[in-house]
Amino acid sequence: MNTKHEVNHLPRIEEFAPIFTFEDRRSYFLVKRIFDLVITLSALVLLLPIIIIISIFIALDSEGPIFFIQERVGSKRKRNKGEISWQPFIFNCLKFRTMEYGADESIHHEYTKAFIGNNLEKTNEIQGGETSTYKLLNDPRVTRIGKYLRKYSLDELPQLWNIVIGDMSLVGPRPPCPYEVDEYLPWHYHRFEATQGLTGLWQVTARSSADFDYMVQLDIEYIKHQNLWLDIKIILRTPLVVLSADGAH
């Protein structure tokens, strides 16, 4: 069953003056896709024992499915009447389940709206106090094993499959939930001028210490300068950032 469909309520990317033209990077997109497949398929083989072990721990820790499937907004290049443009679409993003099964998502909706709107008073209220971390802390919905999976970003490993089937790339802006996109200002839509990624410039430079606008600025900075060497540098920096658990919650 194909769950992908166009996001009709999102404006077309070209309405916001695209950052670059497709002719500038036609060969890069092809090489990037081949690079994604080679690295991701190799990683899946090497990480299979870890994936199996994590799956067992999740099953033993709490009731519910091992994987959590969530709708996210991605972006793909589309050709229309000879013109190529980036078009958002919704896809099923895979994660290891880190919350109690059937947990109420309203708290995350509320926090996300305040975070994107830079409403520090509201985010601090939800956090239960002032914090310099721009991520929901002390979430009671998170399971015991889920805390460790999140701390080291292991909950994201199933997204390697999203890369294989073409929904995502190894490097790019993180794919947001549809309700996050509902809060975007027009300039935030520039985040969709690239395939959404497993890691990115934001993850290896600021992570949870960046407010939303700065996160988008980092995504746009990546989009402006993206090339294969930049992708490789971000990928090489990612394990060090993950293992340090700096900014992870």
Residues 104 and 141: beta-carbon distance below 8 Å: yes
Residue 83 confidence (pLDDT): 75
Global pTM reads 0.85
- Give the pLDDT score at 105: 77
Calpha distance 92→74 (Å, rounded): 10
- Regions in the chain scoring below 70 on pLDDT: 1-24, 124, 126-138, 208-209, 245-249
> Where are the domains positioned within the chain?
5-103+141-241
Give the Cα separation of 160 and 92 in Å (integer).
13
pLDDT score recorded for residue 1: 36
